[in-house]
Amino acid sequence: MAQIYPFAGAALQPDNSCKFSVWAPFRKQVCLSLLQPQQQLYPMQRDDKGFWHTIVEDVPAGARYKYLLDEEMELPDPASRYQPEGVHGPSAIIDTNYEWTDSNWTGLNLGELVIYELHTGTFSSKHNFQGIIEKLDYLRSLGINAIEIMPVAQFPGDRNWGYDGVYPFAVQDSYGGVEGLKSLVNAAHQHGIAVILDVVYNHLGPEGNYFSQYGPWFTDKYKTPWGPALNFDDAWCDAVRAYYIQNALMWLDEFHIDGLRMDAVHAIWDCGATHFTAELSELVDALQASSGRKKLLIAEIDLNSPRYITPREKGGYGMHGQWVDEFHHALHSLLTGEVNGYYADFGGLTALAKSFQDTYVFTGEYSDVRKRHFGASAKENSYDQFVVFAQNHDQIGNRMLGDRLTTQLSFEAQKLAAATTLLSPHVPMLFMGEEYGETKPFQFFTSHSDKELIAAVSNGRKEEFASFAWEGEVPEPQEISTFSNSTLSWDIKTAAATALTELYKFLIAFRTAYPAMRNTLRESVKVQIPQAEEQLLLVERSGDNNHLLLLFNYSNHVVSYQYTGSGELHKKFDSAAAIWNGPGALAPDIATASEVISLQPHSAIVYEIA
């Protein structure tokens, strides 16, 4: 599909000419309005697929332009690569050349990753890509080998989570633009860190969205919570599908990005014979083969359906991995006691044990929140296809106050949350700052210019939290203080912050140190709840004649467990130990059959079975 339809946008040629192409199938006349050095109109020619084309000689990089539609309106290019004056301003031509120095980088498998999710604007005081580059040494020393960057497509103003982007091909100017992003990817690869980019293919933001003026980009067949549904299977959908496929390939090829986290793929409505994600995964696999570099597609999906990550030859869509919100919900509700809103389906140890063992909590059971039976088994998919987390941007930022686990849990419970995530057989993901116990919130912020939209967003946030029993006032998204409050403090010098960071570093290294931790086959993990009333979870992990016993105490009191196995236990980790700024370990360093092992409140212990 991507090869059938011409690439839209402005493309500089080796002879200094520039090709312009835009899809506007219902327009009777389209002209290029080139604004530099002085405004000049160039008539464009329409092809049989509704694309309009022209070539202009001697066009410099940086020249700005718009398209004049039917002599009625001048609008930016939907496939703009740069919006230096924001979402309402003219588009600009870019030079795509870059001096890459990552020729030895071949990427990483999904199962090898320890992912660190971050937001470019709030990760550092510089609020841009350079601020991330300056922290790559720190991230690598922590053991991070993949960063996942929240969306960078051009959005209104300079403060936004990124899901209101309206120019999918343009890199946010305030972050550093095309050059800044390529420099970040290049530097990350030199540090041995893969880069995953969050992309939004299910909707477009409201402000600066002129797509409907160009053609049938949207369909009335479906709805999304964020705006009109993009047209992936209705009349005229071919060009829309090609546009987003070409966008994905641009990031993975031209920008050397290693993977895409695709936002809410359940809202990519497509009832056609070949689902959009299946078509995309086939082309991404082909790019991986031709480039010799690993390329990944990770789905965020509110469906407990392994279809999206099942191979195409087995009837699936061929994506490589997916987020698992249910692991988070089970862990969060168990540790915090919150069982309102969508947490009403969780709470108690059983849900977490199910997710630890089966990945999904709901595999066909009845959901009280959804009012229906929900989910399917993922037993045919290995653990390393699933990304889990104790915190992420959604689960923090979509709380009314954007409060982190740091402000909800004791220090011991924070360490327990880290151990649960990092010792699971799934792919772990951290959210920026959690490793040192950041206390500043991550709140929802915007910098729109449309007053009606500003009011609508503010009111919508207040209505969103009606089903939760949270106290306080909803932070105003438009206020600069909401953004400032969400910028990391990097207060990492306290004893607690140092101990927590060292614990994360130890557990990340531990994942690769033992064969049992590296084994992600379903049969390698056995989960038990030996004492349900005590909130004790027991997990056995095995691989290559290596056996580990993991014990998690989610209660607020000491719990004892009598070991009944035959092997001798040698303790490798105890979150309550003084080295982790804990109250002190109670469990023996070596234990034998019938010996009693005591766990401090909210603690985790790992034994190797000799």
Handedness of CA 516, 519, 520, 521 (dihedral sign): negative
**Token pair 């699971």 is at which residue?**
424
- 44's enclosing H/E stretch is none
Q: Is 313 exposed, middle or buried (0-12, 13-18, 19+ CB in 10 A)?
A: exposed
CB 233 within 8 A of CB 170: no
- 569's enclosing H/E stretch is strand 569-574
CB 272 within 8 A of CB 232: yes
Angle between helices 237-253 and 276-291 (to 10 degrees): 30
Query: Cα 456 to chain center, whole Å?
Result: 26
CA–CA separation, 563 vs 544, rounded Å?
Answer: 23
Catalytic residue status for 270: no
- CB within 8 Å of 307: residues ≥ 6 apart: 315, 316, 317
Count of CB atoms situated within 10 Å of the CB of 400 = 18
CA angle 431, 477, 85 (to 5 degrees): 95
CB 244 within 8 A of CB 255: no
Catalytic residue status for 300: yes
Beta bridge partners of 74: 68
CB 46 within 8 A of CB 60: no
Which residue in the list 148, 258, 263, 434 is annotated as catalytic?
Answer: 263
Nearest Cα to Cα of residue 93 among 70, 72, 117, 63: 63
Give percent helix, percent strand, percent coil of the chain, each to the nearest 5: 30, 25, 45
CA–CA separation, 49 vs 106, rounded Å?
Answer: 38
Which residue in the list 198, 300, 326, 434 is annotated as catalytic?
Answer: 300
CB 591 within 8 A of CB 563: yes
CA–CA separation, 284 vs 226, rounded Å?
Answer: 27
Active site residues: 263, 300
